[in-house]
Protein backbone atom coordinates (compact mmCIF):
# COMPACT_ATOMS: atom_id res chain seq x y z
CA UNK A 1 0.00 0.00 0.00
CA UNK A 2 1.46 3.34 -1.07
CA UNK A 3 0.41 5.98 1.48
CA UNK A 4 2.15 8.88 -0.27
CA UNK A 5 0.38 11.44 -2.44
CA UNK A 6 1.57 12.50 -5.91
CA UNK A 7 3.06 16.02 -6.17
CA UNK A 8 0.09 17.50 -8.02
CA UNK A 9 -2.24 16.34 -5.25
CA UNK A 10 0.07 17.82 -2.63
CA UNK A 11 -0.30 21.09 -4.53
CA UNK A 12 -4.05 20.84 -4.16
CA UNK A 13 -3.58 20.25 -0.44
CA UNK A 14 -1.81 23.61 -0.22
CA UNK A 15 -4.72 25.21 -2.07
CA UNK A 16 -7.13 23.81 0.48
CA UNK A 17 -5.01 25.04 3.38
CA UNK A 18 -4.90 28.51 1.84
CA UNK A 19 -8.69 28.42 1.39
CA UNK A 20 -9.15 27.48 5.05
CA UNK A 21 -6.77 30.19 6.25
CA UNK A 22 -8.64 32.81 4.20
CA UNK A 23 -12.10 31.84 5.45
CA UNK A 24 -11.80 31.08 9.17
CA UNK A 25 -10.89 33.43 12.04
CA UNK A 26 -7.18 33.55 12.94
CA UNK A 27 -7.91 32.27 16.45
CA UNK A 28 -9.92 29.28 15.18
CA UNK A 29 -9.75 26.32 17.60
CA UNK A 30 -12.28 24.01 16.00
CA UNK A 31 -16.06 23.91 15.76
CA UNK A 32 -16.31 22.28 19.17
CA UNK A 33 -14.89 25.38 20.84
CA UNK A 34 -18.01 27.38 19.95
CA UNK A 35 -21.18 27.38 22.00
CA UNK A 36 -24.24 25.68 20.54
CA UNK A 37 -25.89 28.66 18.88
CA UNK A 38 -22.60 30.04 17.54
CA UNK A 39 -21.77 26.63 16.10
CA UNK A 40 -25.14 26.31 14.35
CA UNK A 41 -24.74 29.74 12.77
CA UNK A 42 -21.18 28.98 11.72
CA UNK A 43 -22.15 25.68 10.07
CA UNK A 44 -24.81 27.40 7.95
CA UNK A 45 -22.42 30.16 6.92
CA UNK A 46 -19.57 27.70 6.30
CA UNK A 47 -21.85 25.52 4.17
CA UNK A 48 -22.47 28.50 1.86
CA UNK A 49 -18.73 29.14 1.59
CA UNK A 50 -18.08 25.50 0.68
CA UNK A 51 -20.84 25.59 -1.95
CA UNK A 52 -19.50 28.79 -3.52
CA UNK A 53 -16.08 27.17 -3.99
CA UNK A 54 -17.41 23.82 -5.26
CA UNK A 55 -16.28 22.08 -2.08
CA UNK A 56 -19.70 21.10 -0.67
CA UNK A 57 -20.10 18.21 -3.12
CA UNK A 58 -16.52 18.13 -4.40
CA UNK A 59 -16.84 15.04 -6.62
CA UNK A 60 -20.14 16.01 -8.27
CA UNK A 61 -20.04 17.29 -11.85
CA UNK A 62 -19.77 21.06 -12.11
CA UNK A 63 -23.06 21.31 -14.04
CA UNK A 64 -24.93 20.08 -10.95
CA UNK A 65 -23.17 22.45 -8.55
CA UNK A 66 -20.24 20.24 -7.58
CA UNK A 67 -16.51 20.75 -7.78
CA UNK A 68 -15.66 18.15 -10.44
CA UNK A 69 -12.76 16.83 -8.35
CA UNK A 70 -11.34 13.35 -8.67
CA UNK A 71 -11.57 10.97 -5.73
CA UNK A 72 -8.05 11.54 -4.42
CA UNK A 73 -8.50 15.31 -4.26
CA UNK A 74 -11.84 14.78 -2.55
CA UNK A 75 -10.04 12.76 0.13
CA UNK A 76 -7.39 15.47 0.53
CA UNK A 77 -10.14 18.06 0.98
CA UNK A 78 -11.97 16.18 3.73
CA UNK A 79 -8.66 15.33 5.44
CA UNK A 80 -7.71 18.99 5.67
CA UNK A 81 -11.17 20.08 6.82
CA UNK A 82 -11.21 17.42 9.53
CA UNK A 83 -7.70 18.29 10.67
CA UNK A 84 -8.73 21.95 10.97
CA UNK A 85 -11.82 21.11 13.01
CA UNK A 86 -14.16 22.20 10.22
CA UNK A 87 -17.31 20.47 8.95
CA UNK A 88 -17.29 19.18 5.38
CA UNK A 89 -21.02 19.76 4.98
CA UNK A 90 -24.16 21.10 6.60
CA UNK A 91 -26.31 19.55 9.28
CA UNK A 92 -28.56 17.60 6.89
CA UNK A 93 -26.20 16.96 3.97
CA UNK A 94 -25.50 13.38 4.97
CA UNK A 95 -28.97 12.62 3.55
CA UNK A 96 -29.06 15.18 0.75
CA UNK A 97 -25.52 14.94 -0.63
CA UNK A 98 -23.95 11.78 0.68
CA UNK A 99 -27.02 9.58 0.27
CA UNK A 100 -29.75 10.61 -2.16
CA UNK A 101 -27.59 13.02 -4.19
CA UNK A 102 -24.92 10.43 -4.89
CA UNK A 103 -27.61 7.82 -5.45
CA UNK A 104 -29.26 9.98 -8.12
CA UNK A 105 -25.91 10.46 -9.83
CA UNK A 106 -25.70 6.69 -10.14
CA UNK A 107 -29.32 5.65 -10.66
CA UNK A 108 -31.34 8.81 -11.34
CA UNK A 109 -32.75 10.03 -14.63
CA UNK A 110 -31.30 13.13 -16.24
CA UNK A 111 -34.46 15.03 -15.31
CA UNK A 112 -34.09 14.01 -11.67
CA UNK A 113 -30.44 15.06 -11.61
CA UNK A 114 -31.07 18.47 -13.15
CA UNK A 115 -33.99 19.21 -10.88
CA UNK A 116 -32.91 17.83 -7.50
CA UNK A 117 -29.11 18.14 -7.37
CA UNK A 118 -28.79 21.95 -7.69
CA UNK A 119 -31.57 22.36 -5.11
CA UNK A 120 -29.66 20.12 -2.71
CA UNK A 121 -26.49 22.20 -3.14
CA UNK A 122 -28.34 25.48 -2.63
CA UNK A 123 -30.05 24.15 0.49
CA UNK A 124 -33.49 24.79 -1.00
CA UNK A 125 -34.39 21.13 -0.48
CA UNK A 126 -33.45 19.20 2.65
CA UNK A 127 -33.82 15.44 2.80
CA UNK A 128 -34.35 12.60 5.24
CA UNK A 129 -34.31 8.81 4.86
CA UNK A 130 -37.34 6.54 5.29
CA UNK A 131 -36.16 2.93 5.54
CA UNK A 132 -36.73 1.52 9.06
CA UNK A 133 -40.18 0.55 10.28
CA UNK A 134 -41.43 -0.79 13.63
CA UNK A 135 -41.27 -4.35 12.29
CA UNK A 136 -38.46 -3.86 9.79
CA UNK A 137 -35.14 -2.68 11.20
CA UNK A 138 -32.25 -5.03 10.63
CA UNK A 139 -34.65 -7.14 8.56
CA UNK A 140 -35.50 -4.29 6.21
CA UNK A 141 -37.09 -6.59 3.62
CA UNK A 142 -39.99 -7.10 6.05
CA UNK A 143 -41.21 -3.52 5.47
CA UNK A 144 -44.97 -3.00 5.21
CA UNK A 145 -45.32 0.52 3.81
CA UNK A 146 -47.24 0.19 0.55
CA UNK A 147 -47.45 2.32 -2.59
CA UNK A 148 -50.01 1.92 -5.37
CA UNK A 149 -49.75 3.59 -8.79
CA UNK A 150 -53.04 5.43 -9.45
CA UNK A 151 -53.69 8.04 -12.13
CA UNK A 152 -50.04 8.89 -12.69
CA UNK A 153 -49.19 9.13 -8.98
CA UNK A 154 -47.93 6.78 -6.30
CA UNK A 155 -50.28 6.69 -3.31
CA UNK A 156 -48.42 5.72 -0.12
CA UNK A 157 -49.71 4.30 3.17
CA UNK A 158 -47.58 3.12 6.05
CA UNK A 159 -45.17 4.14 8.78
CA UNK A 160 -41.45 4.81 9.16
CA UNK A 161 -39.53 5.13 12.42
CA UNK A 162 -36.15 6.46 13.63
CA UNK A 163 -36.33 9.01 10.81
CA UNK A 164 -33.57 11.49 11.58
CA UNK A 165 -34.30 15.20 11.05
CA UNK A 166 -37.67 14.58 9.41
CA UNK A 167 -39.18 17.74 10.88
CA UNK A 168 -36.64 19.97 9.12
CA UNK A 169 -36.76 18.03 5.83
CA UNK A 170 -38.67 18.96 2.68
CA UNK A 171 -38.37 15.54 1.00
CA UNK A 172 -37.94 11.94 2.05
CA UNK A 173 -36.52 9.04 0.01
CA UNK A 174 -38.28 5.91 1.16
CA UNK A 175 -38.78 2.25 0.41
CA UNK A 176 -42.29 0.97 -0.17
CA UNK A 177 -43.69 -2.36 -1.29
CA UNK A 178 -45.28 -1.85 -4.70
CA UNK A 179 -45.90 -5.53 -5.54
CA UNK A 180 -47.43 -7.35 -2.56
CA UNK A 181 -47.29 -10.67 -4.43
CA UNK A 182 -43.50 -10.62 -4.82
CA UNK A 183 -41.29 -12.35 -2.26
CA UNK A 184 -39.29 -10.32 0.26
CA UNK A 185 -36.57 -8.36 -1.56
CA UNK A 186 -38.55 -8.11 -4.79
CA UNK A 187 -41.43 -5.77 -5.37
CA UNK A 188 -39.87 -2.96 -3.32
CA UNK A 189 -39.51 0.51 -4.89
CA UNK A 190 -37.57 3.59 -3.82
CA UNK A 191 -39.66 6.75 -4.06
CA UNK A 192 -38.92 10.47 -3.67
CA UNK A 193 -41.76 12.00 -1.68
CA UNK A 194 -42.46 15.65 -0.72
CA UNK A 195 -43.27 15.97 2.98
CA UNK A 196 -45.24 19.20 2.85
CA UNK A 197 -48.61 17.68 1.96
CA UNK A 198 -51.76 16.33 3.61
CA UNK A 199 -51.49 12.82 5.02
CA UNK A 200 -47.94 13.21 6.38
CA UNK A 201 -47.79 13.08 10.18
CA UNK A 202 -44.34 13.55 11.79
CA UNK A 203 -44.05 12.81 15.51
CA UNK A 204 -40.77 13.45 17.38
CA UNK A 205 -39.21 10.75 19.58
CA UNK A 206 -37.46 11.94 22.74
CA UNK A 207 -34.26 9.98 23.23
CA UNK A 208 -32.43 9.23 26.46
CA UNK A 209 -30.10 12.14 25.68
CA UNK A 210 -33.05 14.54 25.59
CA UNK A 211 -32.64 15.11 21.84
CA UNK A 212 -35.63 14.86 19.50
CA UNK A 213 -33.82 14.33 16.22
CA UNK A 214 -35.52 10.95 15.65
CA UNK A 215 -39.11 10.84 14.45
CA UNK A 216 -41.98 8.58 13.53
CA UNK A 217 -43.46 9.41 10.12
CA UNK A 218 -46.97 8.23 9.20
CA UNK A 219 -48.25 8.23 5.61
CA UNK A 220 -51.98 8.20 4.87
CA UNK A 221 -52.83 8.54 1.19
CA UNK A 222 -49.64 10.51 0.57
CA UNK A 223 -48.86 11.17 -3.10
CA UNK A 224 -45.83 11.59 -5.30
CA UNK A 225 -45.41 11.76 -9.07
CA UNK A 226 -45.01 8.55 -11.04
CA UNK A 227 -41.59 9.79 -12.26
CA UNK A 228 -40.25 10.06 -8.68
CA UNK A 229 -38.88 6.51 -8.73
CA UNK A 230 -35.17 5.95 -8.23
CA UNK A 231 -34.06 3.15 -10.55
CA UNK A 232 -36.90 0.91 -11.62
CA UNK A 233 -40.23 0.13 -10.00
CA UNK A 234 -39.71 -3.11 -8.10
CA UNK A 235 -35.93 -2.65 -8.10
CA UNK A 236 -35.70 -0.61 -4.91
CA UNK A 237 -33.79 -3.23 -2.94
CA UNK A 238 -30.85 -3.15 -5.33
CA UNK A 239 -30.86 0.64 -5.35
CA UNK A 240 -31.02 0.78 -1.53
CA UNK A 241 -28.12 -1.63 -1.15
CA UNK A 242 -25.96 0.54 -3.38
CA UNK A 243 -26.28 3.25 -0.71
CA UNK A 244 -24.00 1.16 1.49
CA UNK A 245 -21.05 1.66 -0.83
CA UNK A 246 -21.51 5.36 -1.53
CA UNK A 247 -18.79 7.78 -0.44
CA UNK A 248 -17.06 5.42 1.97
CA UNK A 249 -13.79 6.97 0.85
CA UNK A 250 -14.23 10.25 2.68
CA UNK A 251 -15.48 8.42 5.75
CA UNK A 252 -12.45 6.12 5.69
CA UNK A 253 -10.24 9.21 5.55
CA UNK A 254 -11.94 11.28 8.26
CA UNK A 255 -12.93 8.61 10.79
CA UNK A 256 -9.33 7.99 11.93
CA UNK A 257 -8.72 11.74 12.28
CA UNK A 258 -11.83 12.30 14.38
CA UNK A 259 -11.33 9.25 16.59
CA UNK A 260 -7.64 10.01 17.13
CA UNK A 261 -8.51 13.59 18.16
CA UNK A 262 -10.97 12.10 20.65
CA UNK A 263 -8.21 9.90 22.11
CA UNK A 264 -6.02 12.98 22.60
CA UNK A 265 -8.93 14.64 24.39
CA UNK A 266 -9.44 11.54 26.55
CA UNK A 267 -5.77 11.54 27.56
CA UNK A 268 -6.08 15.20 28.52
CA UNK A 269 -9.16 14.34 30.59
CA UNK A 270 -7.15 11.73 32.48
CA UNK A 271 -4.46 14.35 33.18
CA UNK A 272 -7.01 16.92 34.31
CA UNK A 273 -8.51 14.42 36.72
CA UNK A 274 -5.13 13.29 38.04
CA UNK A 275 -5.51 9.62 37.04
CA UNK A 276 -2.99 9.53 34.20
CA UNK A 277 -0.58 7.72 36.52
CA UNK A 278 -3.06 5.02 37.50
CA UNK A 279 -1.79 1.74 35.96
CA UNK A 280 -5.27 0.45 35.06
CA UNK A 281 -6.27 3.74 33.44
CA UNK A 282 -2.96 3.86 31.56
CA UNK A 283 -3.50 0.32 30.27
CA UNK A 284 -7.01 1.17 29.06
CA UNK A 285 -5.75 4.39 27.45
CA UNK A 286 -3.05 2.40 25.66
CA UNK A 287 -5.67 -0.01 24.33
CA UNK A 288 -7.81 2.86 23.08
CA UNK A 289 -4.80 4.49 21.42
CA UNK A 290 -3.78 1.21 19.78
CA UNK A 291 -7.28 0.61 18.44
CA UNK A 292 -7.38 4.13 17.00
CA UNK A 293 -4.12 3.43 15.15
CA UNK A 294 -5.45 0.11 13.87
CA UNK A 295 -8.52 1.99 12.67
CA UNK A 296 -6.25 4.30 10.68
CA UNK A 297 -4.78 1.31 8.82
CA UNK A 298 -8.23 -0.21 8.27
CA UNK A 299 -9.30 3.14 6.87
CA UNK A 300 -6.36 3.16 4.50
CA UNK A 301 -7.36 -0.28 3.25
CA UNK A 302 -10.95 0.81 2.59
CA UNK A 303 -9.69 4.04 1.05
CA UNK A 304 -7.34 2.22 -1.32
CA UNK A 305 -10.14 0.06 -2.69
CA UNK A 306 -12.44 3.06 -2.99
CA UNK A 307 -9.84 5.08 -4.91
CA UNK A 308 -9.46 2.17 -7.33
CA UNK A 309 -13.21 2.07 -7.86
CA UNK A 310 -13.44 -1.40 -6.32
CA UNK A 311 -16.36 -2.51 -4.12
CA UNK A 312 -15.58 -2.28 -0.42
CA UNK A 313 -16.88 -5.80 0.20
CA UNK A 314 -16.50 -7.11 3.74
CA UNK A 315 -14.26 -4.15 4.66
CA UNK A 316 -17.44 -2.09 5.12
CA UNK A 317 -18.69 -4.50 7.81
CA UNK A 318 -15.25 -4.73 9.41
CA UNK A 319 -15.01 -0.95 9.59
CA UNK A 320 -18.52 -0.44 11.02
CA UNK A 321 -18.06 -3.16 13.62
CA UNK A 322 -14.61 -1.92 14.60
CA UNK A 323 -15.25 1.81 15.02
CA UNK A 324 -18.55 1.34 16.85
CA UNK A 325 -17.14 -1.12 19.39
CA UNK A 326 -13.99 1.00 19.77
CA UNK A 327 -16.01 4.15 20.42
CA UNK A 328 -18.08 2.43 23.06
CA UNK A 329 -14.92 1.39 24.92
CA UNK A 330 -13.41 4.91 24.68
CA UNK A 331 -16.48 6.62 26.07
CA UNK A 332 -16.91 4.03 28.82
CA UNK A 333 -13.37 4.84 29.97
CA UNK A 334 -14.23 8.56 29.95
CA UNK A 335 -17.26 7.85 32.13
CA UNK A 336 -15.14 5.83 34.55
CA UNK A 337 -12.62 8.68 34.78
CA UNK A 338 -15.38 11.20 35.47
CA UNK A 339 -16.93 8.94 38.09
CA UNK A 340 -20.11 10.05 39.88
CA UNK A 341 -19.92 13.50 38.25
CA UNK A 342 -20.94 11.91 34.95
CA UNK A 343 -24.37 11.19 36.42
CA UNK A 344 -25.05 14.94 36.77
CA UNK A 345 -23.87 16.36 33.43
CA UNK A 346 -22.81 19.99 33.36
CA UNK A 347 -21.33 22.26 30.71
CA UNK A 348 -21.86 22.25 26.99
CA UNK A 349 -23.11 19.05 25.42
CA UNK A 350 -21.90 17.69 22.07
CA UNK A 351 -22.81 19.44 18.85
CA UNK A 352 -22.89 16.22 16.84
CA UNK A 353 -25.47 13.50 17.38
CA UNK A 354 -23.30 10.60 16.26
CA UNK A 355 -19.74 9.45 16.80
CA UNK A 356 -17.29 11.90 18.37
CA UNK A 357 -17.84 15.42 19.59
CA UNK A 358 -16.35 18.12 17.36
CA UNK A 359 -12.64 19.05 17.59
CA UNK A 360 -12.01 21.68 20.23
CA UNK A 361 -14.90 20.49 22.41
CA UNK A 362 -14.57 21.04 26.15
CA UNK A 363 -13.93 18.11 28.47
CA UNK A 364 -17.30 18.71 30.11
CA UNK A 365 -19.31 16.00 31.78
CA UNK A 366 -22.21 16.89 29.48
CA UNK A 367 -20.07 16.31 26.39
CA UNK A 368 -18.65 12.97 27.46
CA UNK A 369 -21.83 11.53 28.98
CA UNK A 370 -23.94 12.37 25.92
CA UNK A 371 -21.30 11.08 23.51
CA UNK A 372 -21.23 7.88 25.58
CA UNK A 373 -24.98 7.46 25.08
CA UNK A 374 -24.49 8.08 21.34
CA UNK A 375 -21.69 5.50 21.31
CA UNK A 376 -24.00 2.85 22.74
CA UNK A 377 -26.43 3.48 19.89
CA UNK A 378 -23.54 3.34 17.40
CA UNK A 379 -23.41 -0.43 17.87
CA UNK A 380 -27.07 -0.56 16.77
CA UNK A 381 -27.68 1.92 13.93
CA UNK A 382 -26.45 1.32 10.37
CA UNK A 383 -26.38 -2.42 11.07
CA UNK A 384 -26.02 -3.83 14.57
CA UNK A 385 -22.77 -5.41 15.73
CA UNK A 386 -24.54 -8.78 15.74
CA UNK A 387 -25.63 -8.33 12.12
CA UNK A 388 -22.13 -7.25 11.09
CA UNK A 389 -20.61 -10.31 12.77
CA UNK A 390 -23.07 -12.55 10.92
CA UNK A 391 -22.15 -10.91 7.62
CA UNK A 392 -18.45 -11.42 8.28
CA UNK A 393 -18.93 -15.00 9.46
CA UNK A 394 -20.94 -15.95 6.39
CA UNK A 395 -19.21 -13.93 3.65
CA UNK A 396 -15.61 -13.58 4.85
CA UNK A 397 -15.09 -16.76 6.88
CA UNK A 398 -17.41 -19.03 4.89
CA UNK A 399 -19.29 -20.24 7.95
CA UNK A 400 -22.80 -21.74 7.60
CA UNK A 401 -25.56 -19.20 7.16
CA UNK A 402 -27.78 -18.42 10.10
CA UNK A 403 -30.95 -20.57 9.99
CA UNK A 404 -34.08 -18.61 9.09
CA UNK A 405 -37.64 -19.90 8.73
CA UNK A 406 -38.19 -17.83 5.58
CA UNK A 407 -34.88 -18.66 3.91
CA UNK A 408 -36.55 -20.63 1.13
CA UNK A 409 -38.54 -17.59 -0.01
CA UNK A 410 -35.58 -15.23 -0.38
pTM: 0.89
117 or 320: which leads in pLDDT:
117
Question: What's the whole-number mean pLDDT along residues 72-84?
Answer: 91
Mean pLDDT of 299-306: 81
What domains are defined for the chain?
7-90 (1.10.540.10), 126-233 (2.40.110.10), 239-397 (1.20.140.10)
Name, of 206-215, 239-248, 280-289, the range with top average pLDDT. 280-289
pLDDT, mean over the chain: 91
Between these two residues, 10 and 198, which has the higher pLDDT value? 198
Q: Is the model more confident about 304 or about 227?
A: 227
For residues 18 and 77, the answer to whether their CB atoms sit within 8 Å is: no
Cross-strand bridge partners of residue 219: 158, 200
8 A C-beta contact, residue 126 and residue 170: yes
Q: What is the pLDDT of residue 396?
A: 87
Are 77 and 247 spatial neighbours (Cβ–Cβ below 8 Å)? Answer: no
Phi-psi region of 249 (alpha: psi -120 to 50; beta: other; left: phi over 0): alpha
**Region 32-42 average pLDDT:** 92
Does residue 251 carry a pLDDT above 80? no
Beta strands in 161-240 (DSSP E): 171-177, 188-194, 200-205, 214-225, 229-230
Q: What share of the chain is helix, strand, coil (3-state, %, to 5)?
A: 50, 15, 35
Q: Residue 301's pLDDT is what?
A: 83
pLDDT at 245: 60
Mean pLDDT of 283-303: 91
- 249 pLDDT tier (thresholds 50, 70, 90): low
The angle at the Cα of 10, spanning 8 to 15, to the nearest 5 degrees, equals: 95
Which contiguous run of DSSP H or E holds residue 71?
A: helix 71-83
> Which pLDDT band, with edges at 50, 70 and 90, does 247 fall under?
low
Please list the alpha-helical segments (H only) found in 148-247. Answer: 236-242
Q: What is the pLDDT of residue 87?
A: 93
What Cα–Cα distance (Å) separates residue 351 from each residue in 30, 79, 362? 12, 20, 11
Residues annotated as part of the active site: 247
Q: List, in sequence order, every beta strand (DSSP E) within 67-124.
A: none
Average pLDDT of 217-243?
A: 95
Q: How far apart are CA 370 and CA 373, in angstroms?
A: 5
Looking at residue 301, the DSSP 8-state letter turns out to be H
Q: From CA 346, how far away is CA 179, in angstroms rounded?
A: 52
Q: Are the C-beta atoms of residues 330 and 284 closer than 8 Å to each other?
A: no
CA 361/CA 334 separation, integer angstroms: 14
pLDDT for the residue 2: 62
Amino acid sequence: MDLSYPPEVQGFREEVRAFIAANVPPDWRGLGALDTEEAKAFVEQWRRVLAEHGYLAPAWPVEYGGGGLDRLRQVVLVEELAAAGLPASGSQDVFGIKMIGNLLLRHGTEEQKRYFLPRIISGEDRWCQGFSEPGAGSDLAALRTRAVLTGGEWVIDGQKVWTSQARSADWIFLLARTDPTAVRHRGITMLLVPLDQPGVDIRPITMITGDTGFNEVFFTGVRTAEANVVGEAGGGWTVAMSLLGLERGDEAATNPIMFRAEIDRLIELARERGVDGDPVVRQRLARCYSRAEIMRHLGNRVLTRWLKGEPTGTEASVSKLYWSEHHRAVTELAMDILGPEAMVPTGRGPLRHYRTDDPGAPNSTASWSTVWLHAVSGTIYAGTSEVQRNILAETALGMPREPRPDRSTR
